Amino acid sequence: MQYSSIKIIIAILVASFFFACSHGNRVKETSKTMTEIKVETTDMKSETNPLLKEFNTEFSLPPFNEIKDGDYLPAAKEAMKVHNAEIKAIIENSDEPDFKNTIESFEYSGALLNRVILLFFAKHSANTNSEIQKIAQEISPLISSHYDNISMNSELFEKVKSVYNKKDLFDLNGEQTRLLEETFKNFKRGGALLNDKDKKRLNDINMQLSLLSLKFEENLLGENNRFELNITDEKDLSGLSSAVIDGAKDAALKDEKDGWMFTLHKPSFIPFMQFADNRNLREKMFNGYSQRGNHNDEFDNKAVLLKMVRLRIEKAQLLGYRTHADYALEDTMAKSAENVDKLLQKLWLVSLKGAKHEAEELQKIMDKDLKSKGLPEEKLMAFDWFYYTEKLRKKSFDLSDSELRPYFLLENVQKGAFLVAGKLYGLKFIPLNNVPVYRDDIKVVEVRDSEDKHVGVLYLDYFPQEGKQQGAWMTEFRGQEIKNENFIHPIIVNVFNFTRPSQGEPSLLSLEEVETLFHEFGHALHGLLSDVHYPSLSGTNVSRDFVEMPSQFMENWAVEPEVLKEYAFHYETSEPISDELIQKMENSSKFNQGFITVEYLAAALLDMKWHTLDKDPGDIDVNQFENKVLEKLGLIREIIPRYKSTYFAHIFSGGYSSGYYSYIYSAVLDSDAFFAFKEQPDLFDSETAKSFKENILTKGNSDKPLNLYMNFRGREPSIEPLLIKRGFQNVKGE
């Protein structure tokens, strides 16, 4: 799915320091090892900075009521000192390097710094302000340089290499072997084998990339916040529902303006594009969305992304790879750009044929509509697609988004997701009150298992605000691990941008938003149910083309009739969704799949084109490059990529460079996995659910993803369930 359903996107925005993200994106509790006791000589100023204290709260939750914006930078600097002391203790240990004194000690180092940067970048993504953005500009290169200094430390690497070369002498279990192999590999990928000159250059590249990544995202946030469509003539609201109109009225009042205000935030943008009758205003709205970062002004992203592309090529080649894609894909299930291209092209041919047919059908609907209004004929354009798709959906299936929304009350949809997790895995969700949160509208729940034992804590951040990035994602304040025989429970966060309640109306979700909630909750379950020892192997710390499988797997449950009957109740009458409406949903489930798949694949292929460049592209024209790629693909005029380059946050600020393909790769896995349940007499078959939990959700990165999947399914994944799901099984490409 889109960036609006990702997830997993860890809030650490310093995308360049791969080593930090693979080793250090887990928060650890403060139980002290011998190494930690030895290095506790630095002045931590714990009396005044809450980030440097133990969190004396229920479940050790972050005390957001005590943390001030000004606490983050000094805490990060102090935590880096502590981390450096821990690394020094490993290096200076005179004992023969072994798994425990080298690999485990390194794995558990940096706990305090992990905690600080997770909390800081979570706030930067979901509740930022000018002070936080200024701090980010200072803290990001410091963190990047800090982790570079560790990953390129020759003395430390020699100790790691010594253990790796003697691994057969140690009695290591499977998880320990995996940790050793991943640690050694990450040192090599982090530049440990480079000479001093190249190490210095790599450090400089990583710092530049960290700042450019922040700049890209902050430009995009600026674009999202500044666009406003202020309507003052009531006739221009024709076609829009009362709920959408009321929300626009509230937005205008908040901005102290007359009339109705529409923005690029999805709860405003999507229904406007679907239902607003005024074609000129739809075009204006669409151009505002599709030209973000492309206005040659202070928020322009063309120079930013082009510099990132150049630096990524240079970095990859410094490390011995031909392209950035070669570097990024080495550690994935796909393994190579050639394998990615093979999959994408196979799906491109069949989905493009479907999209062309859909465009023809929409043109017919548009011709008839314009004629009925006495308007001249027009060619279907990209800004028409959503509008006429809804008309075709209504005509073909007697179904519209506005008919479904009343059944998708936010609170009920969330309960539905919880119910599925309860039936599959025995989980219970208990609201926690009076928990310190980073914004007043955050909900917090405790998660317990079937034996009423504590599993973890889940934060739910539902609604958009000015200081929040668009989309939806999962992150964490603390990851799961087992340390000194103590099971450390995870603290997980789901972030969304759903329609706020307005004018007495509750928050009602579109079907896409329902699937988004289930998707991010799938990421949350991957983090919550993790059961491994080592933090860098826990939860969602898996390859990009595997991480989306548990999340997309959960989407399947959202629209199952048996599940819908449990949560889809009309918000006014409390009547359950009817069998007739469910049947309409089923009948339309393959509707518009050509468009959905083509717009996604166009973005995935664009990502790969940027990152398979093997030499500095110079000052090429970003728009021309993009247009040539899309023209060669044969993308039709009526569709644009889901993300154009200048607002492609996944690949230029979200850690998915050369990895946007992973959603479709994971879709093969999730579709095949869900078929394992559909093949059973009981959709919630306990043995199948137990196998999925034990072989996928609890295992993190403790084994190779394909091994984990085959342990669950008993065979390699098949692409056929995905083709069936999207209605492509009988379609042949042109």
* Residue 570 · residue 557 · CB < 8 Å: no
> Per the residue annotation, which of 218, 513, 520, 560 is the catalytic one?
520
Q: Nearest Cα to 421, choosing from 580, 234, 554, 232?
A: 554
CB 537 within 8 Å of CB 512: no
Contacts of 639 (CB under 8 A, 6+ apart): 355, 359, 382, 385, 595, 598, 599, 602
Distance from C-alpha of 127 to C-alpha of 669, rounded to nearest angstrom: 34
Tokens of 726: 């999207």
Please, is 45 exposed, middle or buried when counting C-beta atoms within 10 Å of its C-beta (0-12, 13-18, 19+)?
A: middle
Residue 95 DSSP label = S
In terms of C-beta density within 10 A (0-12 exposed, 13-18 middle, 19 or more buried), how is residue 504 classed? exposed
Among residues 529, 540, 528, 551, which one has the least CA distance to residue 700? 540
Which residue from 49, 65, 110, 3 is spatially nearest to 479, judged by alpha carbons? Answer: 110
CA distance 263 to 466: 11
| Tokens 């935590």 found at | 79
User: What residue has token string 């928050």?
Assistant: 507
Alpha-carbon span 57 to 59, nearest angstrom: 6
First to last CA, the chain: 25
323 DSSP 8-state letter: S
Buried b (16+ CB within 10 A) or exposed e, 263-286: bbbbbbbbbbbbbbebbebbeebb
Question: Which 8-state DSSP code applies to residue 442?
Answer: -
Q: How far apart are CA 401 and CA 393, in angstroms?
A: 9
Alpha carbons 19 and 151: distance in angstroms, whole number: 7
**Partners of 493 in the β-ladder:** 459, 475
The HSE-up count of residue 314 (CA atoms within 13 Å, CB side) is 20
In order, the DSSP letters of 96-164 are PP-IIIIIIHHHTTTHHHHHHHHHHHHHHHHS--HHHHHHHHHHHHHHHHHHHHHHT-HHHHHHHHHHH
Q: At 454, give phi and psi (nearest 5°).
A: -65, 130
Give the CA-trace dihedral at 727, 730, 732, 733, to 10 degrees: 0
DSSP strand pairing (491-495 vs 454-461): parallel
- The whole-angstrom separation of Cα 352 and Cα 350 is 6
**Radius of gyration of the chain from its Cα atoms, rounded to whole angstroms:** 25
Distance of CA 201 to the CA centre of its chain: 30
Q: Do residues 387 and 276 touch, judged by C-beta distance below 8 A?
A: yes
Largest Cα–Cα distance of the chain, in whole Å?
Answer: 87
Read off the tokens for 643: 């993300």
Q: Is 40 exposed, middle or buried (0-12, 13-18, 19+ CB in 10 A)?
A: exposed
Q: DSSP letters along 536-583, please?
A: GGSTT-S-HHHHHHHHHHHHHHHT-HHHHHHH-B-TTT-PBPPHHHHH
Specify whether 155 is catalytic: no
Active site residues: 520
